[in-house]
A and B are shown apart, each in its own frame.
Chain A
């Protein structure tokens, strides 16, 4: 496995950019990343600092308990939100079910899509004229939906929303009820492609958190950079960031419909950013663009383009900010929408060093909105969501598309450094059920300590070769066979790392076996907690996301197995292609939302 992505460059992303003038960037970038593009694109790059996902940083064990009355489960973040200045969340959540229904429609894609063709496309948010025809596997959908419908009754909110919104059942939109959305495309694009905004009541509209650039000169420049004829569209570049405990996830929208006039007007450093990001797949030593995840020909906020997915370790955050400063990023007057704990941790640095004001967003909100959005636009014509058929039979187990058009209620398990578990009843109605500190960070941390490995990729590679049963004590190791009294199979793990109590066995164990045991232990534990939460919340669909699952087929299959086996087939484990990027996507969506609200 390749480890040094930076190649000969040896510099890391921020450093390589630092100090160069606008004109010199391209060269610097080339030094940084010669020839690694393909590998990065293949999704299996190694990178120096950490491949570990992050996510829900607040997560952990911590707020597990916090079930606030209004939001049902979010205590800590809720406070955070208000303290951070956002009125939005607080206002939105207490809303009555009726309001939620109203909100549900646009999410279902109602307003903007008027043509039958578009209706047939699954998007709640159209991907525009070039949107792919129904993806393979879509044919299954109706069937799956039917199957999934009986699962719904558990949660009243989800059910009622589904019932009202015919779309959820048959894939067709109800007669459009055009909400007063501000992000309209104007005459040319029509309203068909604009990402739909929540038709929030005025008093519920998210309020801009930060003083906007308000000097006359700034406003003037701002206006100039805006698309002609469109008012409330944010200036480029469009970024969404999710700064986790281990990993920063960045999504970047690259407009592909730039007119000659725009091209001319595009300021130099904006152009260089675009070129830099889109012509490289790795940035510095540790930044990676997941080319295979790129969403092509997407229409966002009335513009057509590609959505790029980039990640780098959180420890490179300061260099990133430094770069922002040196690139005079603040002159672009874009709003940096950021979520994750790092949005708070680095806020001051962004302001002081780079003169950038972060728009801080709640990570769980972003996660859910991002997930729903990406699922709705699909994955370049393929479905975003999938499951494993025959999860308990290793030979017949295979990946199958799953239609998440009617996702509620769902248990959303976000596995980053730590793990957060949410019960989602509708787009805006969810609660944080619990969380655990045994997550991706624990897997990598323990693996590093036990095997001396340094990266997530390395750890997973070792785990793939190992055998955990040498490390774990199995039921049969204790009872000589099955433990019949309790119906436990002899092959079940009785004690993770239990064999390591013996010195002889410790002395003879391989690193690969240790890595595998660590992976299995962490994964099964998450599965076990998720399963209990699903039972307690009476939800039978469990959606696993987060970067812990990146290139981690072992864990995915284990989770699929665990959900199915222990529930006797009652629970279904679902996965999404863009695993760890939903928070960042959600943050980007907030950028459009903010602009709408102006």
Chain B
């Protein structure tokens, strides 16, 4: 009885640890089986305005059944190496749960064997940087099993440059200037009032 409980406990502990072991997926373990292309106007794109058309699908030259485990597709906007320099919060790390390369979701949907296309308007909170696009294929447990991206392993070609919104508004600018001027004027006003009061007291 006690032995049985101990054995059960051991199994549960092992299961827990194996769960955490399996949870560590590395990028280098993924297969590049998807083909991803993106088309967009050939200039600096504007966040909030311009659109990118993304096409993705399985590499047709691969044997059938490669994609048996694929259930979901997640397409993301990822930082190119030039935008990661001196910015540890965008660092590429092999352990996918700690990887910060791809921070913006373009879309997430069910996986289909045929090629799919989607048009995405660049969201307004995308920062100014250079990007590429990557698609992950996820299995039943939402774990990455394969990927594809718009350029090679060096991530040096087919880059998308995006110009962000500044976040500034004319009304904010005016308010800042007005309040600042008011502070200085108020200070001067106080000094003048004090001097006048001082002179009155002397009279």
Q: A and B: partners?
A: no
B interface residues, Cβ below 8 angstroms from A: none
